[in-house]
Structure 1
Amino acid sequence: MTTRPGRPSTDPAVPRPAASDPAAQQRAWNATARAYAADGPVHRLFEEQARLRPHAVAVRWAGGALSFAELDRLANRLAWALRDQGVGPETPVGIRVPRGPLLAVAVYGVLKAGGCYVPVEPALPAERAHTLLAEAGVRLLVGTAGEDGWPAPPQVRTVPADAPVPDHRELRSPEPGTGADSTAYVVFTSGSTGRPNGVAVAHRSLHNLFAWCRRTHGFGPHDLGLSVTSLGFDLSVFDLLGLPAYGAGVYVADDAQRCDPELLLDVLLREPVTYWNSAPTTLAHLAPLLGGHRGAAGTGHLRLVYLSGDYTPLTLPDEVRSVFTGATIVSLGGATEATVWSNWFEVGAVDPAWRSIPYGRPIDNAQYWVVDEDLRPCPVGVPGDLLIGGDVLALGYHRQPELTRQRFVPDTLGPDPRGRLYRTGDRASFGSDGVLTFLGRVDGQVKIRGARVELAEVEHRLRGHAGVKDVVALARPDRDGERALVVYVVPAPGCRPTVRELRRHVAAALPDYMVPAAVVFVDGFPATANGKLDRAALPWPARTGSTHVLGVPG
């Protein structure tokens, strides 16, 4: 079951307000209200599935599987151990466990105990891990016996997620003492001041998201998702909490599989995976391997691909659909501060005129506003600052009330006078059909030789060259300390464009200050641990015309 956004404005189901009133236009496009159940904490949905289908598989991994009943019992065991350590409503509990079934045990165990979970990855540097624990106020950490990685600081006690000692209480769940408006998790994002910001998300906005996902894309017991993102990246929230909430299973890829596209593709083909969820770069690493599997066994299972967290290469949807012919590709966006995803666009035929995949429309109970500097809604086609409102918003920044007040402001535009708006720091514009186009960060414009340059515009122009598969543009410091426009080009298969022809291609359509000072060829784009494009890992300084093999997977 799918519902396609971005219908033409001639469709009577799409509101068509007067074009002369931007505020009325945006109000109509933001008429997303839909009732949803929000009965208590979200893990209660999983507990209901454990009661209805106890023997169905909830979690798979390379070494085995756990049924819903087994996962429920192990999570109860951990929850009681945490209760014995004083965990209750609003208690932050760190999670540091290796990838595998214990990820699910830890998440559900913390929520069942009434706490909120705080992911702190085992692979983090010790200083960063200790900073996150301190910022979140964590005093208890769910870990495993004898694991490698950073040591827990002295003031933090560790509770093992793999405790072998049974507990007679594990056959029943603790009463969590939490409700829909309690904190479910705290995920950290990078702060502009160098201090990490912990985004606190309540159960209520998760209920709204899960209900929209199920209504729109029909998740249920017939589905198996492939989890490839780290617990510290909020895409994992839907894998571990959303899928089991409706009886679906999840295969948790281990670190070896996540880092090796061949192993990951093997899982995708061998297991009955119906749903993929990642940043585009992770899936793009598999793309070079797909061609040899057209019509092969296992290519008929995948029905749905969610891509989010970064720009999706325009070639990727068709590369995926050429092998997984039954897959629907969905691009999603939003912010960590707006509960994983809050807008979406189902990708059909890729329009050659697109600079990027359209941002799409808001999901249920979300409002997206494009405004000028005085917070007045912008007319169609006019870029502005992007604000998000509605039930999708996070509670705020954990233990940072002043920052919360700065970023989450009173809603003067939406239907709820008590509502809030989140200042995303992004730029966007509305099309005449109400579909949003993402235009980058407010700070994504750079100055080159005194002129403002939109890096996405340079990238779009170069993607139109037949010899270019993909490109990333960056402003890099040159030898004199000035900013130079540098483009990193992945050549199309069998092509070797020259620096001169690529610069001439840009110069034919853009001003001279937007012509790259350096063109650097790479075999692919590196990814961060979260699967996003790792711009900092692209080589610099680098000689123009040079070729760099980065060892990118795939």
Structure 2
Amino acid sequence: IVKDGNCKVVLTAELVKTIVSSYKESKRESVAVPEQIAYAIYTSGSTGKSKGVIIKNEAVINTILDINEKYSVNETDRFIGLSSMSFDLSIYDIFGAFSAGATLVMIEDQRDIKKIHDIVKEEKITVWNSVPMIMEMLVNYMDETEKKSNAGVINYDELPELRLVLLSGDWIPVHLPERIKDHFVESEVISLGGATEASIWSIYYPIKTVKAEWTSIPYGYPLSNQTYYVLNYENDPCPIGVKGELYIGGKGVAEGYLNDKEKTEASFIDHPDFGRIYRTGDMGVLTQEGYIEFLG
């Protein structure tokens, strides 16, 4: 990443401490504008070499403000920071919280599920944002704890403050939303999806009930000012019920890959009808109900 990004400075924990301790408050007004680059964040590299995704301020702000508005995030909310800063879920944790005046409680180790449980309880966490596996670990832990303490009787007052559960980044087990609501009875459970190349998330589905015949949770509907397309090999829209490749359009689409024109041109396409869209490489289908089903 240092080589690929032509990085001039590497911030370490010790260097940050030094900078903070010598920092003097500036009276200058912010000169940031929507068209400026907010960050370049590297993909996991699961398909080979990691790629630096360039995101502008206006692209990521669109996602953050949309989620905050949809779910009334405000200064009374308390987030738990579960994701590494190398993972773009952390972008929402940080700026979703701070743009609303909310509190962000960071944790040291996302594998320490007892500590996570204690923090959610003691810090009165209201907003949870993670991959499904970490939430599944939490409800497993709570199930086991309750079995030991009161023979499996669910204590509905255990953690009443958690009101919003955002799950993304992997398949959501179909029984997980119901298990979450067993413990957090007032919570809204939201499935989110998209790509790092389209500003954290581009699609959502509020999981109110899980139908018995479902084998997966619906991928959902596009977020505000974003678009999702199911296209065939000629880049034309697939009919309802016909499998195709998923493309993302709208405000969240990245500028491209850092210092890599070839990969940018291969993944970001100027479509004659839909404008600039990102080719996700994922497959999906548009259902009769109007939402997209993710197929892998």
Shorter-normalised TM range: over 0.9
Q: Which residue of the partner structure matches residue 202 of structure 1? A: 56
**What are the equivalent positions in structure 2 for 1:130-149 lying under 5 Å apart?**
132-145=1-14
Aligned mates of 2:47, 2:291 — CA distance in 1: 33
1:360 maps to which of 220, 228, 231:
220
Q: Which residue of 2 aligns with 1:457?
A: none
Cα offsets for 1:335-388 (capped at 9, x unmatched): 000100110000011112111100000000111110111111111111001111
Q: Give yes or no for contact 1:275–1:304 (8 Å, CA) kept in 2.
A: yes
Contact 1:271-1:298 within 8 A present in 2 as well = no
Residue 376 of structure 1 aligns to which amino acid in structure 2? D
Q: Displacement of 1:270 after TM fit?
A: 1.4
Q: Tell me the residue number matched to 2:174.
A: 314
Shift of 1:432: 1.1
Secondary structure, aligned partner of 1:285: helix
Per-residue deviation, residues 474-515 of structure 1 (Å, max 9, x unmatched): xxxxxxxxxxxxxxxxxxxxxxxxxxxxxxxxxxxxxxxxxx
The offset of 1:405, in angstroms, is 1.0
Give the C-alpha shift of residue 263 in structure 1. 1.3
Q: Distance in 2 between matches of 1:367 and 1:172?
A: 40
Q: TM-score, normalised by structure 1?
A: 0.50
Aligned to 2:291: 435
Offset of residue 215 of structure 1: 1.8
Query: 1:254 is paired with a residue of what secondary structure?
Result: coil
Asked if 1 retains the 8 angstrom alpha-carbon contact of 2:65 and 2:96, the reply is no
Cα 1:272–1:192 change in 2 (3 A) is closer
| Residues 256-293 of structure 1 deviation map (CA, whole Å, 9 limit, x = unaligned) | xx221111111111111000000001111112222345
2:211 and 2:135 map into 1 onto residues whose CA distance is 21
Instruction: Please tell me whether residue 225 in structure 1 is matched to residue 82 in structure 2.
Output: no
Cα distance between partner residues in 2 of 1:190 and 1:226: 22
Question: Following TM superposition, by how much is the alpha carbon of 1:184 offset from its aligned partner in structure 2, in angstroms?
Answer: 1.0
Question: Residues 68 and 96 of structure 2 are in contact (CA less than 8 Å); yes or no, is this contact kept in structure 1?
Answer: no
1:289 and 2:145 are equivalent in the alignment: no
Contact 1:290–1:320 (Cα < 8 Å) also in 2: no
CA distance in 2, matches of 1:135, 1:436: 35
In structure 2, the CA distance between the partners of 1:282 and 1:421, relative to structure 1 (3 Å rule), is same
Q: Does 1:407 align with 2:267?
A: yes
Q: Which amino acid aligns with 1:348?
A: K
Cα RMSD of the aligned pairs, angstroms, is 1.7
Tell me what 1:389 maps to: 249
CA distance in 2, matches of 1:420, 1:309: 24
Residue matched to 1:304: 164
Which of these two proteins has the greater Rg computed from alpha carbons? Answer: 1
1:260 aligned to which of 92, 112, 120: 112
Once the two structures are superposed, what CA deviation does each residue of 1:153-207 show, in whole Å capped at 9, x if it has no partner? xxxxxx434446444xx32354554321111111111447732101111100122
Given that residues 268 and 277 in structure 2 are in contact (C-alpha distance below 8 angstroms), is that contact kept between their aligned partners in structure 1?
Answer: yes
> Matched residues in 1 for 2:214 and 2:40: separation?
36
With normalisation by structure 2, the TM-score equals: 0.92
The number of residue pairs the alignment matches comes to 288
SS of equivalent residue, structure 1 residue 311 = coil
Q: Distance in 2 between matches of 1:395 and 1:386?
A: 18
- Change in CA separation of 1:300 and 1:369 when aligned onto 2, cut-off 3 Å: same
Contact in 2 for aligned 1:269/1:297 (Cα 8 Å): no
Alignment deviations for residues 283-327 of structure 1 (CA, whole Å, 9 cap, x no partner): 111122223453365511000000000001111111111011111
Number of the residue aligned with 1:271: 123
Unaligned runs of 5+ in 1: 1-131, 146-158, 441-554
| 3-state SS of paired residue (1:214) | helix
**Which residue pairs with 1:425 in the alignment?**
281
- Cα 1:271–1:297 shift into 2, 3 Å: farther
> d(CA) in 1 for partners of 2:239 and 2:115?
48
Q: Give 3-state SS (helix, strand or coil) of 2:2's partner.
A: helix
1:336 aligned residue (182, 185, 196): 196
| CA distance, structure 2, for counterparts of residue 253 and residue 429 of structure 1 | 38
- State how 1:186-201 maps to structure 2 within 5 Å: 186-191=40-45, 194-201=48-55
* Matched residue type, 1:275: V
Q: How does 1:111-190 map to 2 (within 5 A)?
A: 132-145=1-14, 159-163=15-19, 165-167=21-23, 170-172=24-26, 174-190=28-44
Judged with a 3 Å threshold, the aligned counterparts in structure 2 of structure 1 residues 392 and 164 are, in CA distance, closer, same or farther, namely closer
Q: Which residue identity is paired with 1:400? A: D
